Amino acid sequence: MIKKLVSGDKELTVFYDGACPLCSREISFYKRQRGSGSVAWVDVAKAAEDDVSPGLSRDQALTRFHVLDKSGTLFSGGAAFSRLLLAFPVFKPLGVLLQIRPLSLISEGVYQLFLKFRPRLQVIFRARERTVTKNGNQTSW
């Protein structure tokens, strides 16, 4: 279980798909933000275990974005993103807003829509990475 990789002093544990180029770029962005030290980052794509945390399988974590707060509450989708935003001072007001109905429902709807397009977006990002690697150019999206 990945639980052993998660530090108990972190306010939040983020489970993400490190094999997804879009997801990796987004997580890299968050890791550079003030407040990222309070977050434990777990790349589920590198996990060998079936269960990455109590109540969360590897397949579930790869299919949908999840965060676990310090109290042990697991959030997914739009709710997980609003919890993540709370960890960063610059995004905290947005995180608070996204927890209020109807914004929480809209956030979840947008996330579900994103999930429908995620496979296509991954293809685009992978093609872009191959082009950048082939040409030797370095870009930061």
Cβ contact 43:83 at 8 Å? no
Give the domain range for residue 27: 2-135
User: What pLDDT shows up at residue 137?
Assistant: 56
Walk along the chain (141 residues) and give the pLDDT tens digit of each residue: 334 444 467 889 999 988 888 788 889 999 999 999 999 999 998 887 776 788 888 888 888 889 999 988 999 999 999 999 999 999 999 999 999 999 989 888 888 887 787 667 666 666 666 665 555 555 544
How many residues does the structure list for the chain? 141
One-letter amino acid for residue 125 of the chain: F
Cβ neighbours for 22, distance < 8 A, ≥ 6 positions apart? 118, 121, 122, 125
User: What pLDDT shows up at residue 39?
Assistant: 95
At residue 100, φ and ψ (nearest 5 deg) are: -95, 135
Q: Is 35 a domain residue?
A: yes
Helix (H, G, I), strand (E, B) or coil at 27: helix
Q: Is 141 a domain residue?
A: no
Name the pTM for this structure: 0.74
Q: Is 140 a domain residue?
A: no
Q: Is 116 a domain residue?
A: yes
Helix (H, G, I), strand (E, B) or coil at 8: coil
User: What pLDDT shows up at residue 134?
Assistant: 53
User: What pLDDT shows up at residue 12?
Assistant: 94
User: What pLDDT shows up at residue 19?
Assistant: 84
Q: Is 122 a domain residue?
A: yes
Q: Is 113 a domain residue?
A: yes
**For the chain, how many structural domains are there in total?**
1
